[in-house]
A and B are shown apart, each in its own frame.
Chain A
Amino acid sequence: MSSSRAKHKKSRPEAFPFTAMVGQEEMKLALILNVIDPSIGGVLVMGHRGTGKSTIVRALAEVLPSIERVQDDPYNRSADEFLAAERPRVGRRLMKAEEVDTESFPVPVVDLPLGATEDRVCGTIDIEQALTHGVKSFEPGLLAQANRGFLYIDEVNLLDDHLVDVLLDVAASGRNVVEREGISVRHPARFVLVGSGNPEEGELRPQLLDRFGLYARILTINDLDSRVEIVRRRRAFDDDPKAFFRRWSRKQRALQRKIVAARELLPGIQLPEDVLTDIARLCMQLDIDGHRGELTITRSAQAYAALQGDETVSRQHVRAVVGLALRHRLRKDPLETLDAGEKIERELARVFGEDPEG
């Protein structure tokens, strides 16, 4: 492994606390739902510049729970995953799960900078090894680091097409396959993809758009009191980041506990038949292609119920997540003037048998 990479991602003190961010509840909720259930499929955050998109994502690392992984494993694998993959290569006797050393490791949040080259994203030959010993050995890339964690791409709409292709491939299969320059490696790469950007700077490729489970909009906060509060908190943070962080640490821990509790609750959440029918009807009414819409709503509603501490998914839970799950899946009609959110609301009211006007 390269010596230049820190083994553990240290929490950098200059990150603004997640809980101190004013407003932008939609985006925060979308991120938290993905922490509770990573299979929701990630979040795309699009909106105005200067609204704290990247600040919020980078602040997320501080409230994430820990996972168990094999000691120093560059792919963050659990003991079982490790055994399944490595078993054939261990001597005559098969190793048992107890024999594998594991460690508690904070859920990784890996930042993919736009200037990254493909070899660092997928991993490539260890150049030092090649230079000093003439040996070809594999050096894992960012996709390996992000396994079981978050992969964040700021300005994702400006990402080079060839990197988008790589991501689409890996996101679909959950595996990273490197077959180049004489090396052949495959390793698990399941991560929550988080992207952010300003739609005015460029559009996202439709295939990539479809990959994101949730789509959160982020808008300029237009409430005077909130705006004043933003400036005030920023000032306090800039003056003394550590003290500011201490002031918010209780809230940070409370949120972390809430997330952990929700994760424990999640497997037992009930999904009543009639709610499921409502979800399916809604997607039909809105003419949504494929079944990713239904699946995402269902998973998000369950995660939301868990977050609220409820054991059964209700219409109220569905309503809270349906915009996030469907906004980017509506068919694009060039002449449509109705906002996607309003359209979803209208259909939802119809499916729930409410009077849309009342």
Chain B
Amino acid sequence: MLRFPEIVGMDLARQAMLMLAVDPALGGVALPAAVGSGKSTLARAFADLLPPDTPFVELPLNVTEDRLIGGIDLEATLASGERVVQRGLLAQAHGGVLYIDAINLLDAGAVTQVVDVLSRGEVLVEREGLSERHPAQFMLLGTWDPGDGEVRMGLLDRIGLIVPLAVQTRWQARREIVETVLAEARRNASPATTRQEGMEAALTLLREQLAEARKRLAEVELSEEQLRSLAATALALGVEGNRADVFAARAARAAAALAGRAEIGQQDLETAIKLVLMPRATRIPEREEAEPPAAQESAEAADEQASDEPATEESAANQDNPAEQAPEPDLEDVPEDLSEVPENLGPPDLLQDLLLEAEAFEMPDGILSVSLVRPARSRAGSRGEALNHRRGRFVRARPGAPREGRIALIPTLLAAAPWQDSRRTEATARGRLLRDGLMIRSEDLRIRQYRDKSGTLFVFLVDASGSMALNRMRQAKGAVASLLQNAYVHRDQVALIAFRGQRAEVLLPPSQSVDRAKRELDVLPTGGGTPLASALHQGLEVARQARSRGISQVTFILITDGRVNVALVQSRDPSAARPEKSVMEGEVAALAAATAAAGIAAVVVDTQAKYLGRGEAERLAAQLQGRYFYLPNARAEQIVEAALA
């Protein structure tokens, strides 16, 4: 396993972890990165920064609720006849670190528990006859591959430092830096030390520096102006809630303490903005995708504290960079909101530079790697409730063997309790050895039966192209709104994909929020081409992610006239030549077949005026093996019914 000083690249992530080690009240570090970027290695190496016996608990994705928050230790309880409580993983992480790899795939119930515990700083156990409180204050490390779906905002927001999507690790840099560190360590230690000893020396040095930084932290103070400028930046970025401001102030102080500064400098504010405020922005022109690159200057800040160089050089370099690189024409894309920042101040300047940086950054296009056809899942247990032995609502206990499901403790004990006296008497009469514990026989065992509502995801694919005249768009919005209303009554999830112009865009990833979906719809502009293939493609991707999270049934609701005029190749590369109409129709047909093969139900709502149509939408419905509706005739209830059928 790599030790912390050996890891290179992901500079901003390392900087964030060092800051967290200085001030655990920052809550944690969230680190999205592609597969193979070394994010989990880095996360595990975080333990190196903490005192040796600090708890470091890794949360497995399949964790059960009782392991997470604690419960009765069945074995010990049965053996002793008194209830023995087992602390859950969240309580075990108290005073240390909780690490969740693939945090975006964590089961929704577990996410809720983690959020709850983060909010109170303790675990409340109110289950299975137990009523306990365990302290649970920990730093949360979360890593995930953003290609696999998002982390729930409620959870992400409680993690102070959110590292912007990291660019690929610079592998060449790795060797150099390892050598540098080791050479440095050799200089400090005796000339004959081995690599291992050199590493230990480097670690000791690092820990000492962190200890000093922690001491310094109490003395580092934000000035009134600096505090105001952070708050103004948060305002300009449309950050939701006021928690982020508190994190940002802490982050700036931690960055300064880490760099050995008693005064907070511009670069510390910048670090705070990058790690706390920008990732929470709701007003960056390119939506959430706009992330600043892993910035060089903060990397230097991190390196610098390891090599203990004076801070002045770095800040000088800092001033030069953005000014030179700021490309003039992009200024138009900076949202108007920025100019509405209530007061003058430095931050907007600072912010503008950071935003320009962000705009220059290209998101890697993960779409091309998506495999289109997924094996169809069985449609058993469609919408509605099904009894099972694993998940959902605990309905009742029934006699059974432990291998058939989870043991229902209380019913088991209850079943056994009345017989204790007679069994004891019986056993004594037969001259058998008596134990102190409870006498439980196999006929006492009860296992849990659950009822779960199999989740349904409705993916709305809304055509917002120019061919959707405004009044039809209004009708379509009305239909979608009624569907949403219905979906929420049933506690289903909805996702919203709009397609217009060059490509389709996921406006709302699967969520239970009708509010958000409605808001997105309200501001949906229309115009441009009809990239229908891109829409189906995105829909399949959303469906794939949802299934990996256990949603069993997916239904597409397409609201379109079905007249495709933008090919997939154009969606990927805007400069590509427009292929023949037949090619585009072929794409749509293939994707529609893939959708049907994946077991996704579909409803097509045709928005085309009848006298103009050539039956494209009807054909699409047939290809999807779905149902077809003609919008002007269809009442919302009919569509709802079809979608639920």
17 additional contacts (CB under 8 A) given A131-B82, A230-B242: A14-B121, A50-B243, A52-B242, A115-B127, A125-B414, A132-B81, A134-B417, A203-B512, A220-B239, A224-B231, A224-B235, A224-B343, A228-B228, A231-B230, A332-B485, A334-B482, A334-B484
Residues A203 and B228 in contact in the complex (CB < 8 Å), given A155-B116, A227-B234, A231-B245: no
Q: Are A162 and B393 in contact (CB under 8 A)?
A: yes
Q: How far is the CA of A157 from the CA of B452 in the complex (A)?
A: 17
Q: Are B119 and A54 in contact (CB under 8 A)?
A: yes
Q: Are B242 and A227 in contact (CB under 8 A)?
A: yes
Q: Are B116 and A202 in contact (CB under 8 A)?
A: no
Q: Which of B231, B394, B516 has the most CB of A within 10 A?
A: B231
Contacts of B491 in A (CB 8 A): 161, 202-203, 205
Q: Identify which of residues 75-123 in chain B touch chain A, using a CB-to-CB cut-off of 8 Å.
A: 77, 81-83, 112-113, 115-116, 119-121
B598 at the A interface (CB under 8 A): no
Q: Identify which of residues 425-457 in chain B touch chain A, using a CB-to-CB cut-off of 8 Å.
A: 438, 453
Contacts of A14 in B (CB 8 A): 121
Residue pairs across A and B with Cβ atoms less than 8 A apart, 21 shown, are A51-B241, A51-B243, A115-B68, A117-B126, A119-B127, A119-B410, A120-B128, A130-B413, A131-B81, A132-B82, A161-B393, A181-B411, A200-B511, A202-B512, A205-B489, A220-B242, A228-B227, A231-B227, A334-B482, A334-B485, A335-B478
Contacts of B157 in A (CB 8 A): 49-50
Q: Identify which of residues 233-252 in chain B touch chain A, using a CB-to-CB cut-off of 8 Å.
A: 234-235, 239-246, 249
Partner of B116, one of A51, A58, A115, A117: A115
Q: Are A234 and B119 in contact (CB under 8 A)?
A: no
Contacts of B421 in A (CB 8 A): 134
Q: Are A125 and B243 in contact (CB under 8 A)?
A: no
B side interface size, CB within 8 A: 77
Residue of A at shortest CB range from B518?
A: A334
Contacts of B113 in A (CB 8 A): 114-115
Contacts of B512 in A (CB 8 A): 157, 201-203
B566 at the A interface (CB under 8 A): no
B130 at the A interface (CB under 8 A): yes
Contacts of A81 in B (CB 8 A): none
Contacts of A115 in B (CB 8 A): 65, 68-69, 113, 116, 124-127
Partner of B244, one of A50, A116, A136, A199: A50
Q: How far is the CA of A49 from the CA of B393 in the complex (A)?
A: 27
Chain B interface SS verdict (over half): helix
Q: Are B83 and A112 in contact (CB under 8 A)?
A: no
Partner of B124, one of A113, A136, A182, A199: A113
Q: Are B241 and A199 in contact (CB under 8 A)?
A: no
A62 at the B interface (CB under 8 A): no
B1 at the A interface (CB under 8 A): no
Contacts of A111 in B (CB 8 A): 120, 124
Residue of B at shortest CB range from A118?
A: B394
Interface residues, chain B, CB within 8 Å of chain A? 25, 65, 68-69, 77, 81-83, 112-113, 115-116, 119-121, 124-132, 152-154, 157, 224, 227-228, 230-232, 234-235, 239-246, 249, 342-343, 393-394, 410-411, 413-414, 417-421, 438, 453, 477-478, 481-482, 484-485, 488-489, 491, 511-516, 518, 522
Q: How far is the CA of A112 from the CA of B411 in the complex (A)?
A: 23
Residue of A at shortest CB range from B123?
A: A113
A side interface size, CB within 8 A: 69
Q: Are B241 and A230 in contact (CB under 8 A)?
A: no
The 0/1 profile, CB within 8 Å of B marked 1, for residues 24-52 of chain A is: 00000000000000000000000011111
Q: Identify which of residues 151-177 in chain A touch chain B, using a CB-to-CB cut-off of 8 Å.
A: 154-155, 157-158, 160-162
Q: How far is the CA of A135 from the CA of B420 in the complex (A)?
A: 10
Partner of B126, one of A121, A161, A332: A121
Q: Which of A125, A130, A205 has the most CB of B within 10 A?
A: A130
Residue of B at shortest CB range from A232?
A: B227
Partner of B513, one of A50, A161, A203, A228: A203
The 0/1 profile, CB within 8 Å of B marked 1, for residues 319-336 of chain A is: 000000000000010110
Q: Are B235 and A200 in contact (CB under 8 A)?
A: no
A302 at the B interface (CB under 8 A): no
A78 at the B interface (CB under 8 A): no
Contacts of B515 in A (CB 8 A): 199-200, 203
Q: How far is the CA of A158 from the CA of B130 in the complex (A)?
A: 22
Partner of A112, one of B126, B132, B453, B511: B126
Q: How far is the CA of A142 from the CA of B413 in the complex (A)?
A: 22
Tell me the smallest distance from the CB of A27 to a CB of chain B, in Å.
Answer: 14
Contacts of A335 in B (CB 8 A): 477-478, 481
Residues A220 and B240 in contact in the complex (CB < 8 Å), given A115-B127, A231-B245, A335-B478: yes
Tell me the smallest distance from the CB of A140 to a CB of chain B, in Å.
Answer: 10
A5 at the B interface (CB under 8 A): yes
Residue of B at shortest CB range from A335?
A: B478
Tell me the smallest distance from the CB of A4 to a CB of chain B, in Å.
Answer: 6
Q: Are A50 and B249 in contact (CB under 8 A)?
A: no
Tell me the smallest distance from the CB of B306 to a CB of chain A, in Å.
Answer: 29
Residues A155 and B228 in contact in the complex (CB < 8 Å), given A48-B241, A238-B25: no
Contacts of B82 in A (CB 8 A): 128, 131-132
Q: How far is the CA of A44 from the CA of B445 in the complex (A)?
A: 42
Q: Are A49 and B481 in contact (CB under 8 A)?
A: no
Partner of A200, one of B153, B343, B488, B522: B153
